[in-house]
Structure 1
Amino acid sequence: MLAVFEKAIGKPPHEFSLIPSSGLGSLKSQQEIAEIFKSSWPQSTLYNLSNGNFMALSHEDESPLHPRSIVVMDDIFSIFIGTLENMSELRRHYGLSRQATEAMVLIEAYKTLRDRAPYPPDQVVKDLQGKFAFILFDAKSSNLFAARDRDGSVDFKWGIAGDGSLICSNDPNIIAEACGKSCTNFPPGCIFMNGSGLKSFDHPLHKVRAILRENDEGKASGLTFQVDLFTRLPSIPRSGSAANWADTAVEAE
């Protein structure tokens, strides 16, 4: 799995830019990253989006425990890795057939959330029971939505390329080549939305903070993200309308 979005759309956390990447000049462009992925995974499917953005998936060396799927419906692109234990319940809830895959369920959940739901995104992801990581992109509205299960069962990393583009992948080699040191594990139990940032779906009223690691010289050399359970975010009133899915979050930055 690989997804690359320019800085204006991806809006990665600014803390990534605090990590000086060794050999910055060797970091790859969006097109070079796509070529590296296709070279590493020649049987991959790649969807080119606007402005050089793209999403790609390969089924090579796929684990039966963590199957991968990619679906495009109504200009919404969904990559899902893993399995959901409550698929039957979710299919019924969203009125889908028995043939609906996890990626299809995810798209329907997103559409419901975007158009009609009176509840925030963290509640939607909390209802997903299983081992998973996913990336969803709505090409019409440029909404980006990514998440990882609370146990971190599926490999999922993210970072920024030399031009500030957001890179997400389950392939650590691709991430390392694209981002240098400016990458880390996507935090378990969290969701990222380009409209409202990184949040915990288990602790939605607590901020997810970036913790910088320093080398022997006292310079930033890496980072991790974790929930700050000692700081509570102020809540905002529910709007009653979910015309903009990102605005239904229960917490404010």
Structure 2
Amino acid sequence: DEDGRELVSAQKFEVAESQTPMLTLASKHVNTTAGDLETENAYLWGYRTAVPRVNADKAVLAYNVRNDGGLCYANALLASFAFNSSTPDGVFSSQSKRVKLSGNGAVTTLTFTLPLADYEDLRSLSCDLTLYDSSESTEIMDLDVSEIEIPEVKYYIVDNSNRYWVQRGSTLIFYIAGAPVGVHHIQVSGNSLTVQGGPGCVALMSEMPRKVGIYNLQGQCVKHVAVEAGQQQNISLPSGIYVVEGKKVIVY
């Protein structure tokens, strides 16, 4: 100024508003064996249901969340209902973790582990993912689900193939069978039933009279057979992969 003092020049500062997160469930996965269904021991809400098997000592669930908006943090909660034949309402449990969801189209994988030892005989599970804006808040964050990226899946009730449960959104349904002992061409179940695939048929033999369901890979019953004790029965079927007592057999 005219007195010789130095003046600080004015500077303009712009404060950018934080971008709103835009979250989409891009994919979901659990470590089931493709085409392997549990048809004897899996129950959902009181009904025996053909569901995918986890042939391991733990289920590992992975959710891929895409954020097309700004960076955010969330409390990711996995809610689980575990069932067996005598618990139609299921037994509830949950686990949660604080997660960072980077923005601008980044995909973050959220992983949850459910050990078989934690569930004992409650091995049929239905799990759902929910995102909250904090661990103290009950405000649910929007998580879009594309039916194209994640189509609905039907799991059929064993004793009524016209009825089914629908897996949609973040839900994952499965049965934790435990680690397999081995792989055999002839499958022997724990209740003395021998099953063998072959040319044009499935061969069944049991130590006691019983009824056996044969299922396709979609969980629908294609044949229900009364098996005589000690007599091999050859069940004619088109070529394909079938599930009997939770075991896959090939007809060629």
Pick the structure with more strand per residue: 2
Identify the structure with bigger relative contact order (alpha carbons < 8 Å, sequence gap 6+).
1
Range class of TM-score, shorter chain = under 0.3
Instruction: Decide which structure has the larger Cα Rg and report it.
Output: 2
When normalised by structure 2's length, the TM-score is 0.22
Pick the structure with more helix per residue: 1
When normalised by structure 1's length, the TM-score is 0.22
